[in-house]
Amino acid sequence: MNYDFSEKVSHLQASAIREILKFTADPEVISFAAGNPAPEAFPVETLTELSAEIFAEDPILALQYSVTEGYTPLRDELKKRLEKDGIFDPEADELIITSGAQQANELTAKVMCDEGDTLVCEAPCFIGSLNAFKSYNVDLRGVTLDPDGINLEELEKVLSGGTVKLIYLIPNFQNPTGNTMSLEKRKAVLELAKKYNTVILEDNPYGDLRFAGEDIPTIKSMDNSGNVVYSGTFSKVLAPGIRVGYAVGPKEIIQKIVVCKQVADVHSNIWAQVLAYKFLTKCDMDKHLASLREIYKHKCSLMLDAIEKNFSSKVTCTKPEGGLFIWCTLPSDCDMMSFCSRAVQEYKVALVPGTAFMVNETDKTTSFRVNFSTPTDEQIVKGCEMVGRLSKEMFGE
Ligand SMILES: Cc1ncc(COP(=O)(O)O)c(C=O)c1O
């Protein structure tokens, strides 16, 4: 049978990095390739108790169909917390619970963009969002990501060249680079969005995982003209398996997202929403977040120290103040793909080639992403020694 796939998905390709990631099934391979929270970060006992409570108190609530907007007590609790941070404006905004931030981002693109519309993202950018945007056949434009955020000159050039429907940004501890956008750039990007009458999608899954430096206000909290949709998630602060995230934004946009979500999956897992609500209201969230920050601070500095000690001095890397990722860059004339292939095949360490995060996998980069949250301390030390050996073999001390 020859299947005739739809126009909108026929150009989507399985990523070339699968070739590298498939080696992670080998138990000998240390994976720096994942993007998962640390296994030790899950509050397993508490979640077990709360789950039992849900079924003891109101099993039908957790098992029955629910409303598309999400479990009302959870929405109200989130609104209250986000209002305190200036992210939710009760006069202008609405909030919908989604199946992870992934769905919040995907549905925002769906309601804002027609096929062929221009959508701007940072280059490099989170692969899950790239694929979601590509599935809508938008004209995706990657704008260079500088250490302090998206390059403003390049951004304005794209904005002034024609209508841009959406600007997708990950201002805190960006995936894949770990970079954080400065306050000045956040303000400037918001001004540009107003000037060119476009919408920013601010994706902030890692904002609560700051383990160094000072918090910077979100772009959403500085917006008073309805130019920003904000997405958040419980994935990195509680558990990604529960698939509970949310989108906050101007009422009109969220109402459209509700209609699209109804078509997509009716509503997010209601049992998981009740679980998230109970965790927020019955547990000490601040204490929990502080413990997560300790875990990630330790693992990040262990990895940065190991990189410093073992890698060739020709390899540079970012120094994130939060999140889960470090972005390493090899000398400009080298073959990064062959470096990553040799790392996994000969040195048994999986890295994610930077091309995976480019708008087109053919765009040139000599960078790769490493993750410090998933491996154990021993794996971080051993893995960096191995990659360090390869880097010195290829680039000298
Ligand atoms: C930048 C970014 N946005 C969104 C997501 C999706 O998160 P969720 O599990 O909430 O769908 C991720 C997950 O890694 C991410 O890195």
pLDDT by residue (tens digit) across 252-280? 999 999 999 999 999 999 999 999 999 99
Mutate to test the pocket of ligand 1, among 42, 102, 129 (most ligand atoms within 8 A of CB): 102
pLDDT tens digits, 219-247: 999 999 999 999 999 999 999 999 999 99
pLDDT value of position 2: 87
**C-beta 101 within 6 A of ligand 1:** yes
Q: Report the separation in Å between the CA atom of 101 and the middle of ligand 1, taken as the mean of its atom positions.
A: 6
Q: Report the separation in Å between the CA atom of 37 and the middle of ligand 1, taken as the mean of its atom positions.
A: 11
pLDDT value of position 15: 63
**C-beta 203 within 6 A of ligand 1:** yes
pLDDT tens digits, 306-341: 999 999 999 999 999 999 999 999 999 999 999 999
* Crossing angle of helices 377-395 and 285-310, rounded to 10°: 30
pLDDT tens digits, 152-173: 999 999 999 999 999 999 999 9
Atom of ligand 1 nearest to the CA of 240: 9
- Which residue has a Cα nearest atom 6 of ligand 1? 102
**C-beta 246 within 6 A of ligand 1:** no
**C-beta 36 within 6 A of ligand 1:** no
- For residue 276, CA distances in Å to 233, 283, 323 come to 10, 10, 21
Q: Report the separation in Å between the CA atom of 179 and the middle of ligand 1, taken as the mean of its atom positions.
A: 16
Q: Report the separation in Å between the CA atom of 328 and the middle of ligand 1, taken as the mean of its atom positions.
A: 21
pLDDT value of position 24: 81
**C-beta 178 within 6 A of ligand 1:** no
Atom of ligand 1 nearest to the CA of 324: 16
* Residue that wins the pLDDT comparison between 183 and 35: 183
**Neighbouring residues of 48: CB distance < 8 A, sequence distance ≥ 6:** none
Q: Report the separation in Å between the CA atom of 344 and the middle of ligand 1, taken as the mean of its atom positions.
A: 25
Inform me whether the pLDDT recorded for 125 exceeds 90: yes
**C-beta 97 within 6 A of ligand 1:** no
**Which tokens go with 5?**
């796939």
Burial class (CB in 10 A: 0-12, 13-18, 19+), 153: exposed
- Which residue has a Cα nearest atom 16 of ligand 1? 175
**C-beta 35 within 6 A of ligand 1:** yes
**C-beta 232 within 6 A of ligand 1:** no
- For residue 392, CA distances in Å to 304, 310, 313, 365, 387 come to 17, 8, 8, 20, 9
- CA–CA gap between residue 383 and residue 389 (Å, rounded): 10
- DSSP-assigned letters across all residues of 53-80: HHHHH-HHHHHS---TT--HHHHHHHHH
Average pLDDT, the chain: 96
pTM higher than the cut 0.85: yes
Mean pLDDT of 21-47: 92
